[in-house]
Structure 1
């Protein structure tokens, strides 16, 4: 049996009364629950964007998935980005389950070990249409100010990113990240024990192309930083809960 003893200390967390944020009617219905334990094998079918198998292992740390970070980004016009040298992020893991625009979901990742050393070392949950259209809730090292770790929500639509809910954070051990899409609202949370989740904030974002489906998953990378070393990130579990769409009420 795996046991996590996380100790993450978050500073300057936005004061939000999350309990006042009403849940949609769809949350009353039973969700589709997709769980991944990474215990010797994968339980779910995954789509991996730009797979680099030599940086992925279920054997290095038994009972967990080990991702070794690499240089690469999907931020803005990444193919023409001078800082990254046009290197695109690899090993973006997405559950092979497409989700329509009108469907709410909740994704949670348990991170056993993440020890960022240099700016843009990061792990993230991601809701992905393609490299130019996504929402990414990440924990990462920043250079503004230097040496600080933060959580933030990057929303990119048609290769135009915005940076939201930026909150300084300290990492002392394992932690959980969770983000939820409820209509146009994205709710970001983190946890020390996987049971009690503290809100980072709520941000409204919608993709321009509402007909396109998304896939949800996670990543670990160095961003475009050429000086960042490749480090091992250990993931303990992943869960995706997909809620039935809200039925439209006909007007009489």
Structure 2
């Protein structure tokens, strides 16, 4: 289906929502609500835009729990190389085309009811999907000891997994992913009103192909259980979501920076090992002795000084590089602790034998 038809369908949804809202409460401020790009309440059918990947009708139902799309977990997963994976690929991936143009942003929310994972790898959640080796997944999953949130990113078969906090299963659990550029923030709620943010991570180029929901058992061969999805929504960001302080700071950092001075363990270097940085969304690349490295980074804009963490110095490194920074117009100061894994410095300075590297950068012209 063309993007033109997509925009027409989404426009109909938004207009209908406004008319219904006025009929219900004439005083409501509809204009303050963010635009809904796609919505399905699963009332007896699924929207025509859904494109189930590897459909399995025996593990999908709209009638077992009316008003819900019920997906049954099953033996199957996506982690690792799709061509060499031993287990079957996840079925019933319910996906819709990304409704935004280019790298525009969106918020995706779903609600899962009466989901009670008790065996390891039983899971249900949200998918941001390009293909079976390039996706982001945020789900509620059993670890083998307890149930909690799990976040997985895969890019060209290279997989990163984040295990977030554990919590007792709730009767209703809202899962939300907010996309800002190529950074995805994940959050949950147990009432649909107050959401708790539990992390953010970088994935892809900011223009995913499809968005949807899934339920599976991973390598667990039996103990299939139901995941009841009450609704699925994709919308634009609110004004507050667009003004996220970390997102605004990433935009201020964006671009190329030249290293103009380097100090290591309190000693000034005539020629430092790192010569330039380039910030692009949630990624940063830097040149070390002529070799280009690209990793993701995390900011803490609430600390003083502000926190800066590189996921690693090389792609395969296990420990992050912790640091602090300040930015003032066209000058950026970074102070990083070495070796990787060491606590961040407390001040923007490098002293004798303190294991720090202090970089002063100017924005490249």
TM-score by length of 2: 0.53
Is residue 2:217 matched to residue 1:217?
no
Give the 5 Å matches for 1:120-131: 120-131=121-132
Q: What residue in structure 2 maps to residue 13 of structure 1?
A: none
Partner Cα separation in structure 2 for residue 60 and residue 77 of structure 1:
35
Task: Specify which structure has the bigger relative contact order, considering alpha-carbon pairs within 8 angstroms and separated by 6 or more residues.
Answer: 1
The equivalent of 1:59 in structure 2 is: 63
Alignment partner of 1:36 out of 24, 40, 49: 40
SS state at 2:108 partner: strand
- CA drift of 1:241 comes to 1.2
Q: 2:227 matched to 1:230?
A: no
Cα distance between partner residues in 2 of 1:181 and 1:50 = 26
Offset at residue 127 of structure 1 (A): 0.5
Deviation at 1:102, TM superposition (A): 1.4
Shift of 1:172: 3.2
SS class of match (1:106):
strand
Per-residue deviation, residues 116-143 of structure 1 (Å, max 9, x unmatched): 1210000010100000001111110013
For 1:177 and 1:30, how far apart are their aligned partners in 2?
18
Q: State the shift of 1:173 in Å.
A: 1.6
Aligned to 1:54, the other structure's residue is in SS state helix
Contact 1:100 1:211 in 2 (8 A): no
Tell me the number of residue pairs that the alignment of Structure 1 and Structure 2 aligns: 209
After the TM superposition, which parts of structure 1 deviate over 3 Å for at least 4 consecutive aligned residues? Answer: 28-32, 96-101, 210-213
TM-score, with length taken from structure 1: 0.76
Structure in which a larger fraction of residues adopt helix: 2
Instruction: State the alpha-carbon separation in 1 of the partners of residues 59 and 76 from structure 2.
Output: 13
User: Structure 2: how far apart are the matches of 1:193 and 1:57?
Assistant: 25
Measure how far apart 1:180 and its partner are. Answer: 0.9
- In the other structure, the counterpart of 2:191 is 193
Deviation at 1:100, TM superposition (A): 5.1
Indicate how the Cα distance of structure 1 residues 225 and 165 shifts in structure 2: closer, same or farther if over 3 A, else same.
closer
Question: Using a 3 Å threshold, how does the CA distance of structure 1 residues 211 and 217 change in structure 2: closer, same or farther?
Answer: closer
Counterpart for residue 259 of structure 2? none
**Per-residue displacement from partner, 1:155-189 (whole Å, max 9, x unpaired)?**
11001110125222221321100011111221111
1:162 aligns with 2:175: no
Calculate the aligned-residue CA RMSD, in Å. 2.4
